[in-house]
Every structure is written in structure tokens, then in C-alpha cells.
Chain A
């Protein structure tokens, strides 16, 4: 089945120790998104790739970076995780932009910062 896959599902890191989260998709969608969701809050868009074009949200901290080496894969790098970065990180894809084009989410990676 076509899907969005995230690895690992659970990640524990130490304060200040870089961590990379992985997302892959078999949907062949053009757009890939990264969201941060904290407990009882709405998912918050960090950035997205439209094909190879990277688009950062204005309020996304510099501590968060992303790479998309090919259509299928997208990575989220947290350079120096703080305690406030503990959250669920959700990857999503959509076929394109514009009307309709709903987003499909991966199962998420739950990040714990010690």
C-alpha cells in the first residue's frame, strides 16, 4: 500500500545532542511537510518542500533544518534539541498545492529530550 513512513517511531536524545528524524513516502507526491505537535495542541507547520524548493515558516527556529535528497525521502534535523523541543513530529505529503490536495500523514516520531 502507498504510504508515508516515519522512522524511528520513538526517539530519545540528550539536551543539545543533534538528532535526525526520517520520513519516506511511496505516494510519489510533490510536496512534503514537517509538523511539530505538542500535547493537546494543534500540529504546527515547520516547513515544506515543493519538489526541491524549500519553504521555511517565518516562526520556525533556526535550530530546525530539513533535507530532501530525492522525491521519496525527507529529513528533519534538530541541531541542538532543547527540552521545549520534546513533541510529536509529523511528516505529511500532498500531491500538489492548490484546491483540494489533502495531506496524508505518517504515524509520527515522538521525541523525548532528556
Chain B
């Protein structure tokens, strides 16, 4: 079993749609959680950190469920510019070992 698993997609959604991604992790001692966005042939860029209480940044909402060991990302009112690969990132206790999921591809169409 992979340490971090994501549905690879692709998710094909129309503009304005709401779309949700889930990510599961296997190490219950994992400490920090992030969502990164990666455009084709570009570097990953931090989208948001994920806190235990959940957090929201504009159209993006992230949730953490430690009991079930998954994190989620919700995108509301999808824009064409949201088309990208979304990487789930988990960091273990100690702070260095960072595990990336393979990413979920999103295509937003007009």
C-alpha cells in the first residue's frame, strides 16, 4: 500500500462546478498536511496547508480527518485556470520525511 494515495482522475468538470478530491495516508503519526498544485511541466506550488480544524481560502476548502486518515480539498465555482494536477503532501513526525501523492488531474472546461 502506498503511503499517500490519491485518485489519479482525471476529473473533467464544467466551469462553475464544485469538485472534491480525497487523499488517504497510511502513517498515523503524520504531522503536517498540505495541498500543492502543479501545472504541466512546472514545479509544485503550495496551495494551502491543512489544519485539524479545517481551513478555507476563497473558493478552496481543506479538511483533515485524523481518525480516518484522509484529507480533502474542495474547489467551488471552478475556473478554467484551476486546471492542473493537485498533489496531496504528508509530512511525518520529525518534520523532514515528506511524501507526495501521485496527484489528481483536474480539467475544467468552458
Contacts and interface: CB of A to CB of B under 8 A. Distances in A.
A64 interface: no
B84 to A, nearest CB: 14
For chain B, give the interface size range. Answer: 20 to 34
Contact of A90 (B43, B94, B102, B103): B43
Interface of B: 4, 31-32, 34, 41-46, 49, 87, 94-103
A110 B103 CA distance: 19
Interface of A: 31, 33, 40-45, 48, 50, 55, 88, 90, 96-108, 110
Nearest to B8: A40
| Chain A interface main SS type | loop
B103 A104 contact: no
Of the listed residues B32, B41, B43, B103, the one surrounded by the most CB atoms of chain A closer than 10 A to its CB is B43
